Amino acid sequence: MTTKNEKIKNSPKEAIEMSGSEAMVRSLVAEGVDTIFGYPGGAIMPIYDALYDFGHAVKHVLVRHEQGAVHAAQGYARVSGKVGVCFATSGPGATNLITGIADAMIDSTPIVCITGQVTSGLLGTDAFQESDVIGISMPVTKWNYQITSADEIPDAIAKAFYIASTGRPGPVLLDITKDAQFAKLNFAYKKCTRIRSYVPEFPTNKVHLKNAADLINSAKKPYLLFGQGILLSGAEKELRHFIEKTGIPAASTLLGISALDSDHPLNMGMLGMHGNYAPNIKTNECDVLIAIGMRFDDRVTGNIKTYAKQAKVIHIEIDPAEIDKNIKTEVAILGDAKHTLRLLTTLVEERQHTDWVNEFLQARQKEEEKVIIKDLHPTKLGLTMGEVVRLSTNLTGNMAVVVTDVGQNQMAAARYARFNQSRSWVTSGGLGTMGFGLPAAIGAKFGSPEKEVILFVGDGGIQMTIQELGTIAQEKLPVKIVILNNDFLGMVRQWQELFFEKRYSFTEITSPNFVKLADAYGIPAAVVSERKDLEPAMKAMIAAKGPYLLEVKIEQEDNIFPMIPAGATVSNCLLGSDEL
């Protein structure tokens, strides 16, 4: 955090006098902001008044809760590659952003949150709707700053966008006192391109590159793991060229999904607790493990004491704090994935690892027989989450942006949605925020209006932010909402079934009539409970020109497998409850 002793100053050229609130909006326009998600209130009212005159340049989306604003900004950023922006007023408006800011921090999502604050003279007096949002948000922001003078506004905005979008991206919060919004300044805007002591990207060490290439060239069973860093750096083509030249099988983290086409022959699927069988068990069989743009989260590694101990680990990462944090490396390469992969590809030999790849395919076949066939082509009467997800993405030619909430719906979508385009997967990873899905889908649609946006959400998660149906209705936003309803908090229920002797403690949940609720908002809706009705209902949903809600009644005790029990090794990847 920057202290007041490091006061941000503006040195205008051809400056024009205006209010701080107008300078704020003009600064956002100068940064290319075209969409803002927010909710007005007393302490940010001057900025909203200035925004009234900029409707031609900036679209403001009125959400129904500030948490909806920040999640929408995240969804917008994730699909567009731009910085998402949200507004909130002081006090409860600002504190309602914190969950989304924390989510953006752990998932490296670039957003700028702007909150109003009481006047400078009232700071620290417990004034009406005053909260120390700087102190509250400090642990979950990449940078935060309180503006108390109108002169600070242009440079603070420039610095905020630079920090949010460079290096490892993340959330920035600016808290602006009401008097700073009213006060006059001589305005001129200059984008930030450098900040003393802030190093967003380190130069790539050529010796480390050479050492990594030597390991890769001599490996018999190399294996590549890629995360969201590929998407954030725009390194999708570089990743594909690298694995195709080396013949190395690859697997993605939850947030790395869509960086590599689902049907690429070297894409072995997803890692993690509910990831694919082959990517998990082969981690403890490879001899060289290459990790790019991922942080070795516990949901990927399982028990780190038994994780890839036989392998020499190469970690390519932009954030030095992630190197050796969880998994010790043989070679660490600091740098942007796009640049680093391009250099590394020139040093590696063209090879094939046919026998090694076939081992993955054999393990995949085992999962196919034990899990996937049952999920996609069930013999039981009840609908499965997997068949619903796969049908929907098939009907869109695997070109839809898929958004999820958190829980079983999220894991089913991660496993069974298919992707042919990057930046077409939006979910809450590190924080696992229930309620993320609906507002994030709103942001995703604004960030990529030309694409179909399909949300998969559970009956529990949607009720956390269900008020955002009002935002969808007001904007007539063509978001397609699929509620996978099993009358349970499904993921918790699954754990209770498997590890707590089916003691379903407070996981049964009663829901409203979702179809009637959607109708109250003027949103077309339908409900499906039988397989014969699923495809016609899905086609009707996708064909709808505006928003649409489809509730699908699924098997109540439909579980997500494979599964690595908490604290277990990745080699202990279970294909069914009978293996417990």
CA 160 – CA 181 distance, rounded (Å):
17
Local structure of 334: helix, strand or coil: strand
Percent of the chain past pLDDT 70, that is, above it, reads: 98
Return all residues near 265 (Cβ < 8 A) that are at least 6 apart. none
- Tens-place pLDDT, residues 161-187: 999 999 999 999 999 999 999 999 999
- 398 to 127, 222, 235: CA distances (angstroms): 52, 29, 21
Superfamily (CATH H level) for 2-187: Thiamin diphosphate (ThDP)-binding fold, Pyr/PP domains (3.40.50.970)
CA 478 – CA 72 distance, rounded (Å):
15
Q: Is the pLDDT of residue 339 over 60?
A: yes
Per annotation, catalytic residue among 82, 178, 338, 374: 178
Q: What is the domain partition of the chain in residue ranges?
A: 2-187, 206-359, 381-554
Under 8 Å between Cβ of 99 and 406: no
Q: Is the pLDDT of residue 333 over 60?
A: yes
Q: Is the pLDDT of residue 11 over 60?
A: no
User: So what's the pLDDT on residue 381?
Assistant: 83
Q: How many CA atoms lie within 13 A of 375 on its CB side?
A: 26
Q: Is the pLDDT of residue 6 over 50?
A: no
Q: Is 202 a catalytic residue?
A: no
User: So what's the pLDDT on residue 182?
Assistant: 98
Does the N-terminal peptide bond of residue 562 adopt cis geometry, omega within 30 degrees of 0?
yes
Q: Is the pLDDT of residue 2 over 60?
A: no
DSSP E strands in 466-524: the ranges are 479-485
Q: Read off the pLDDT of each residue in 285-293 and give the average, rounded to a whole number.
A: 98
- Tens-place pLDDT, residues 495-538: 999 999 999 999 999 999 999 999 999 999 999 999 999 999 99
Which one, of 171, 390, 372, lies nearest residue 278 by Cα?
372
Which one, of 179, 93, 165, 168, lies nearest residue 136 by Cα?
93
Q: Is the pLDDT of residue 5 over 50?
A: no
Q: Is 66 a catalytic residue?
A: yes
Q: Is 463 a catalytic residue?
A: no
Per annotation, catalytic residue among 128, 182, 499, 500: 128
User: Which pLDDT band holds residue 155 (cuts at 50, 70, 90)?
Assistant: very high
- Tens-place pLDDT, residues 451-467: 999 999 999 999 999 99
Return all residues near 227 (Cβ < 8 A) that are at least 6 apart. 252, 253, 255, 256, 291, 292, 293, 294, 295
Which one, of 222, 242, 245, 246, lies nearest residue 230 by Cα?
242
Q: Read off the pLDDT of each residue in 203-211 and give the average, rounded to a whole number.
A: 96
Per annotation, catalytic residue among 18, 45, 129, 451: 129
Q: Is 128 a catalytic residue?
A: yes
Per annotation, catalytic residue among 22, 31, 66, 322: 66
Q: Mean pLDDT for the chain? A: 96
Q: Is 350 a catalytic residue?
A: no
User: Which pLDDT band holds residue 13 (cuts at 50, 70, 90)?
Assistant: low
Class of 206-359 per CATH? alpha beta
- Tens-place pLDDT, residues 62-76: 999 999 999 999 999
Which residue's structure tokens are 């010790």?
A: 328
Per annotation, catalytic residue among 491, 538, 541, 563: 491
Q: Same CATH fold, 206-359 and 2-187?
A: yes
Q: Is the pLDDT of residue 9 over 70?
A: no
Sheet holding 453-458, edge to edge: 425-426, 401-404, 453-458, 479-485, 548-553, 525-528
- Tens-place pLDDT, residues 320-330: 999 999 999 99
- Tens-place pLDDT, residues 381-422: 899 999 999 999 999 999 999 999 999 999 999 999 999 999
Q: How many CA atoms lie within 13 A of 533 on its CB side?
A: 13
Superfamily (CATH H level) for 381-554: Thiamin diphosphate (ThDP)-binding fold, Pyr/PP domains (3.40.50.970)
